[in-house]
Each structure stands twice: as C-alpha cells, then as structure tokens.
Amino acid sequence: LGLRSGFAHELETWLHAREIDVMIAPLEGRAPARLRHAPLVSVPLVLLVPCSSALQSADELWVRREITEPLVTLPATEAITRLFHQGLRRRRTQWPMAIETSSLALVARYVARGYGLGVSVALPAIIRDPSVRVLPLAGFDPLEMAVFWQGDMTPLIQLVLDEARRYVRETWPDWADAERGARGASRVESVGAAHRR
C-alpha cells in the first residue's frame, strides 16, 4: 500500500487517471462525476488566534465594521476555505485572504508567529501549538470527509474504508458521522479549553 498526499483537485485527477485506487478528501455537496463515495467524518471549523490576542470569541469579529487582522488560510480552491467564506457571506462579513498556505500545519505555525488569524479544523494533532488558542466557529458548516473510488468495491478499497472508519471511530468518535454535529460542537469547546491551559 502506497500513500500520496495532495490537494483535493490533485487527488481527484489522480483517481480519474487511475494513478491511485482510493482517496480520502472533502465531500462538498454531491460526489464528483463517476466516483463512488462513503462518508467518513464531519469536523468543525475553528479560528486560530495567537495566545496574545484579546479575542475571546469569533463572534467578536462579526460585529466589527472591518476586520483588520490578516487572514491565514489554505488556497481559495480548498473546501475549508470555501466553507469559511460561505459562513462569512451568511454573516454579511468580508475578510480577504492575506496569507495562503499549503497545509493546515503552516496555518497554525503562521498564527503562532503572529502573522494573523487562521482558519483550520478542530483536530488536536493540527492545532497543538501551545502559542495558539482555538476559537469555535459556531454556525459555520463542518468539513465533511469521505472515501472516494471508481467502479466496483475491491478488497483493497474495502480494507481502506474499514480501517479509515475504525480509525475515525476510535480517534474522533463525536465526529464519526454527520449526524453527530451537536456533540461535535461541545468537543470543539473542550479542544479550545485544552489549548488555553
């Protein structure tokens, strides 16, 4: 079994070209054409702020006339960034991207160094930097992840799907399916609290 990482559009291209057998990627609306999928996990979005920031809640930003802090995000083509901007539009808020990164780890690193505020997901492995605080993004749609493949289910694809589901259930039981959104919201609060200690 070989592993390859990339942005979602790259993975989809490789899957259609049969360079890979299966991909784990965001599911936005309907699955891409000619691909089958199985939902995997639904992870809340969060806002990362430096520990030195006076912000106690992301809601403090939405009532401002203008948000002056630089925004650090993944490219505009990525699902996390699109979901975040959809949430901003619902709040009639504009916040242009200032720094584009190639990974969520870099988002956290730039926020820790004081370059701005960052959009991420509530996964402790990604947001474990002690110089960063986590603010839940209440009312923003979560990031839905799924397993995708082409054609019939093969033993290899079934194995990847089974192991991915097992890992998600053991690691993030509150987010193991989209129907547990309310429980997931309380988990974001606890993740944020852990990083404020």
pLDDT over threshold 80, residue 95: yes
Residue 20 has pLDDT above 60, yes or no: yes
SS3 at position 25: strand
Model pLDDT, residue 177? 64
The whole-angstrom separation of Cα 188 and Cα 192 is 6
End-to-end CA, the chain: 40
Token pair 């054409």 in the structure block, residue: 33
DSSP state of 173: G
Q: Which amino acid is at 2?
A: G
Q: 135 with 57: CB under 8 angstroms?
A: yes
What is residue 36's predicted lDDT score, i.e. its pLDDT? Answer: 92
d(CA 2, CA 132): 33
Q: Of 104, 139, 138, 102, give the one whose Cα is nearest residue 118.
A: 104
3-state secondary structure of 79: helix
Across 60-64, 148-152, 186-190, least confident range: 186-190
Q: What is the pLDDT of residues 129-184, one digit of tens each?
A: 889 999 999 999 999 999 999 999 999 999 999 999 999 999 888 888 644 433 33
Pairing mode, strands 71-73 and 97-100: parallel
Going by C-alpha positions, the residue among 145, 146, 90, 98 that lies closest to residue 119 is 98
Average confidence (pLDDT) over 47-55: 95
pLDDT averaged over the chain? 86
Phi and psi at residue 19, to the nearest 5°: -80, -25
pLDDT over 70 (residue 51): yes
